[in-house]
Structure 1
């Protein structure tokens, strides 16, 4: 009755405000609705409405159980209670042994990396939409003979969207440890379902580190990087040489497919170790710096620095705020700084906790396995984007 009694533009407005779960059921109402929900215009409209109104949000939580098993759950954005558990290992075409990283989200899409043997070069990559439960297995890339010699390969990834074509892209940086060869840079396009090797690589002296936090924003994916001085020792082998290390951010332009550098701010040093990582917080590229207390070495705090908006030019960094208070420890794993001012932490006793920056109150509410470096929590907004023949989503 809705389809016949209301004008088409009104129907589109109503449907664009519904959750993805409902829209997936409405696929069977009529062929016109099926086509509408796969159109680029409707997917974009639906996602923009959900993003601007804080609707359709969930939290992906990855952790190790007390028995050492990998567990992934989707949590309610409001209560952080488990809404459903996900067997990510079943999303791969074959049984994998290790899931080292989950990249994203990028407009509701995640990139999963699965290894068939820890330390081996055999891997599978899967794009996953948790809202529609759709997956896309990426094709295997055929590398040159220089990467088929059995040497250990270190791969870094980035997931983003080309804002000019609205196409999802995956960037893979392949580095051969201990050899003279420059890293290889590969780009996957969802629209063509194929990989390409690009020759616009940054300096071969880069040592690039993947972030634990979402690090894509407005057409750029960001990594923390350092300039490494290498010295040849023996035939074909290179080893790090002591010297000054320049720290910066490497940003990949998804449209022009070039790398840009941005210097990191000079942060004050304090007693104890410093932990640094980059993240996108409240639509800004940020630097998270963790400190250990000077009197009580168990205590800790985090400084958050925010970068000005223009990429690749002389930048200004501003220390935006500090996360500190009773109950925070240096060993705490910071999982996410949310837009509502709450900070999600994984405590050393394995419990999940929420810290309110406004009241400086810490509240433990659940225990999920053991405290470990693999723990991950990230908020995402549901999307209708289809990866197997459907419309992609613009920004």
Structure 2
């Protein structure tokens, strides 16, 4: 029985216990719950209650009933990011997103970090500016919940006055389960001589510098695929003067420390690139190399973080020659690739069947996420309603609430 059938059956009752109402509502899609907030005051208090949001999050992440896809590509004419939200299975457009609403200036580049509990971290690169007052605005960060459309711009990161002209930076985004807080980490490397790490906490809405003892000789690569899992964000890294010294760099969001794990030895064929990905909550290494007429991808899975030799080769993807750019590892072993003509294709490595999706672009970034109710602006959270208050508010509204709900079903 679907959630809709359950709701129809239960709401036909004249009076429902509040725990039954909570159980039913916690299994419904976010777009329904956003509407149901208008049914009555008690439902608004329930749906915006942090305990209910966590219950809905647990159901959504464990059963994975509804997923969406964030897809960004470069516009053919303006060369600016073009963003759409799509259905997971078919990649049909749900809606297009005006990315300018998130940033104070026009951006010419967009990177996406996450997802984490349905939240995405957007990094927008602004056009080069000569005004010194804008030197701290070369990049903007925004947290965004695509399901609720709620967003939060992060404070500007002010560079130190003695910052060298040559530097590199990388970001990571995740959840601190001990503090019940969302965090963004920025790794800033100055000419391979100094490394500075800053952490943003959503609970305090501020940045702070930490001392992680990170080796400044490391070159950290920006993630190509979602690289966060279970309270830890991961990057591929190597030593600048010794590229054979490759490692997995992991940042624990709770302890705020880095951990290093050596990567598996290179194969006889040199890699064209390597990247870290998360597959079914497991940390994986994706290694691309030339395999005859086409490019091949070896997928390694890490068994234990921090342990040398804990990698196991899972499988190899051998696409057809015209399929070159791996974009996403999907459920059921399917992969999403971009072909040589710029079109997106779903490919099954086992049967070697492919399905054209009719989506064209110069470059793509694809991120699948679970729809959740997670709030970004904590001030809007409602205090947990008392049991007596919920009961007294629910009963008088049950009949009118039933009529309104049935109109939406």
- TM-score bracket for the superposition, by shorter chain length: 0.7 to 0.9
Equivalence for 1:322: 316
In the TM superposition, 1:116-155 aligns within 5 A as: 116-118=126-128, 122=137, 123-147=139-163, 151-155=165-169
Question: How far 1:342 moved relative to its partner?
Answer: 1.2
Question: How far 1:219 moved relative to its partner?
Answer: 0.8
Cα distance in 2, alignment partners of residues 377 and 49 from structure 1: 24
Residues 206-235 of structure 1: CA distance to partner in whole angstroms, max 9, x if unpaired? 111111110011111001111124xxxxxx
Equivalence for 1:249: 248
Cα distance in 2, alignment partners of residues 213 and 290 from structure 1: 14
Worse overlay, 318-327 or 347-356: 318-327
Query: In the alignment, is residue 346 of structure 1 matched against residue 338 of structure 2?
Result: yes
Question: How far 1:158 moved relative to its partner?
Answer: 0.3
Equivalence for 2:81: 70
Question: How far 1:173 moved relative to its partner?
Answer: 0.9
**270, 273, 276: which one pairs with 2:274?**
276
Contact 1:64 1:368 in 2 (8 A): no
Equivalence for 2:170: 156
Cα distance in 1, alignment partners of residues 76 and 142 from structure 2: 27
Contact 2:136 2:156 in 1 (8 A): no
TM-score by length of 2: 0.84
Report the CA distance shift for 1:325/1:210 in structure 2 as closer, same or farther (over 3 A).
closer
Higher normalized helix content (fraction of residues): 2
Contact 1:385 1:391 in 2 (8 A): no
Worse overlay, 32-41 or 76-85: 32-41
Cα distance in 2, alignment partners of residues 387 and 54 from structure 1: 21
Question: How far 1:385 moved relative to its partner?
Answer: 0.5
Equivalence for 1:291: 289
Cα distance in 1, alignment partners of residues 202 and 141 from structure 2: 13
Query: In the alignment, is residue 113 of structure 1 matched against residue 123 of structure 2?
Result: yes
Structure with the greater alpha carbon radius of gyration? 2
Where 2:52 maps in the other structure, the secondary structure is helix
Report the CA distance shift for 1:31/1:258 in structure 2 as closer, same or farther (over 3 A).
same
Contact 1:110 1:127 in 2 (8 A): yes
Where 2:100 maps in the other structure, the secondary structure is helix
Report the CA distance shift for 1:322/1:118 in structure 2 as closer, same or farther (over 3 A).
farther
Question: How far 1:304 moved relative to its partner?
Answer: 0.5
Cα distance in 1, alignment partners of residues 189 and 14 from structure 2: 58
Cα distance in 1, alignment partners of residues 289 and 257 from structure 2: 34
Residues 230-263 of structure 1: CA distance to partner in whole angstroms, max 9, x if unpaired? xxxxxxxxxxxxx564100110011110000000
Question: How far 1:328 moved relative to its partner?
Answer: 5.2
RMSD: 2.1
Equivalence for 1:88: 99
Query: In the alignment, is residue 207 of structure 1 matched against residue 219 of structure 2?
Result: yes
Gaps spanning 5+ residues in structure 1: where? Answer: 230-242
Query: In the alignment, is residue 196 of structure 1 matched against residue 172 of structure 2?
Result: no
Gaps spanning 5+ residues in structure 2: where? Answer: 1-9, 130-134, 383-409
Report the CA distance shift for 1:115/1:121 in structure 2 as closer, same or farther (over 3 A).
farther
Q: How many residues align?
A: 364
Contact 1:136 1:388 in 2 (8 A): yes
Question: How far 1:4 moved relative to its partner?
Answer: 6.8
Query: In the alignment, is residue 361 of structure 1 matched against residue 340 of structure 2?
Result: no
TM-score by length of 1: 0.87
Equivalence for 2:404: none
Report the CA distance shift for 1:369/1:46 in structure 2 as closer, same or farther (over 3 A).
same
Contact 2:276 2:284 in 1 (8 A): yes
Cα distance in 1, alignment partners of residues 225 and 334 from structure 2: 16
